[in-house]
Amino acid sequence: MIDSPWGHKAGFIAVIGRPNVGKSTLVNCVVGQKVAAVSPKPQTTRNRVAGVKTTGSYQMIFLDTPGIHHAETLFNREMVKLALKTLTEVDLILWVIDASDPLSDEDQLVRGYLQDIKVPVVVALNKVDLVKPKQHLLPVIDACHRLIPAAEVVPISATEGVNLNLLEEILLRYLPEGPAFFPPGQATDQPPHLVVAEIIREKVFELVHQEVPYAVAVRIDEMEERPGTGLVDIQATIYVEKDSQKGIIIGEGGRMLKRIGQQARQEIEGVLGTRVYLGLWVKVHRAWRKNEEALRRFGYLQKSG
As a whole number of angstroms, the distance between CA 157 and CA 99 comes to 9
pLDDT value at position 47?
59
As a whole number of angstroms, the distance between CA 222 and CA 226 comes to 12
pLDDT value at position 248?
94
Long-range contacts of 188-192 (CB under 8 A, 24+ apart): 188/31, 188/35, 188/49, 188/50, 188/51, 188/52, 189/49, 189/50, 189/52, 189/61, 190/35, 190/49, 190/50, 192/223, 192/272
Interval 157-182 mean pLDDT:
95
The answer to which of 8-12, 226-230, 276-280 has the lowest mean pLDDT is 226-230
As a whole number of angstroms, the distance between CA 201 and CA 195 comes to 10
User: In terms of DSSP bridges, do strands 9-16 and 92-98 run parallel, antiparallel, or are they unpaired?
Assistant: parallel
As a whole number of angstroms, the distance between CA 104 and CA 257 comes to 37
Distances (CA, A) of 166 to 157, 170, 171, 287: 12, 6, 9, 45
Categorise residue 60: left if φ over 0, alpha if ψ from -120 to 50, beta otherwise: beta
CA angle 159, 160, 162 (to 5 degrees): 115
pLDDT value at position 42?
46
pLDDT value at position 207?
92
Q: Residue 194: is its pLDDT beyond 80?
A: yes
More confident residue, 223 or 299: 223
* Model confidence pLDDT, tens digit, residues 233-250: 999 999 999 999 999 999
Quote the pTM value.
0.79
Q: Residue 199: is its pLDDT beyond 70?
A: yes
* Model confidence pLDDT, tens digit, residues 203-238: 998 899 777 878 899 999 999 998 888 899 999 999
Could you say which DSSP state residue 44 is in?
Answer: -
Query: What percent of the chain is modeled with pLDDT above 70?
Result: 94
Interval 157-172 mean pLDDT:
96
Check if the beta carbon of residue 106 is closer than 8 Å to that of residue 147. no
φ, ψ of residue 71 in degrees (nearest 5): -90, 130
**Amino acid, res. 238:** I
Check if the beta carbon of residue 167 is closer than 8 Å to that of residue 124. yes
As a whole number of angstroms, the distance between CA 219 and CA 281 comes to 10
Domains parsed from the chain with CATH numbers: 9-174 (3.40.50.300), 192-297 (3.30.300.20)
Collapsing DSSP to helix, strand or coil, 272 comes out as helix
Most confident by average pLDDT, 186-195, 199-208, 257-266: 257-266
As a whole number of angstroms, the distance between CA 176 and CA 9 comes to 6
As a whole number of angstroms, the distance between CA 204 and CA 238 comes to 9
Q: Residue 77: is its pLDDT beyond 60?
A: yes
Query: What percent of the chain is modeled with pLDDT above 90?
Result: 57
The answer to which of 3-7, 17-21, 230-234 has the lowest mean pLDDT is 3-7
* Model confidence pLDDT, tens digit, residues 87-116: 988 999 999 999 998 888 999 999 999 988
pLDDT value at position 215?
86
The answer to which of 17-26, 38-47, 53-62 has the lowest mean pLDDT is 38-47
Strand partners, 98: 126
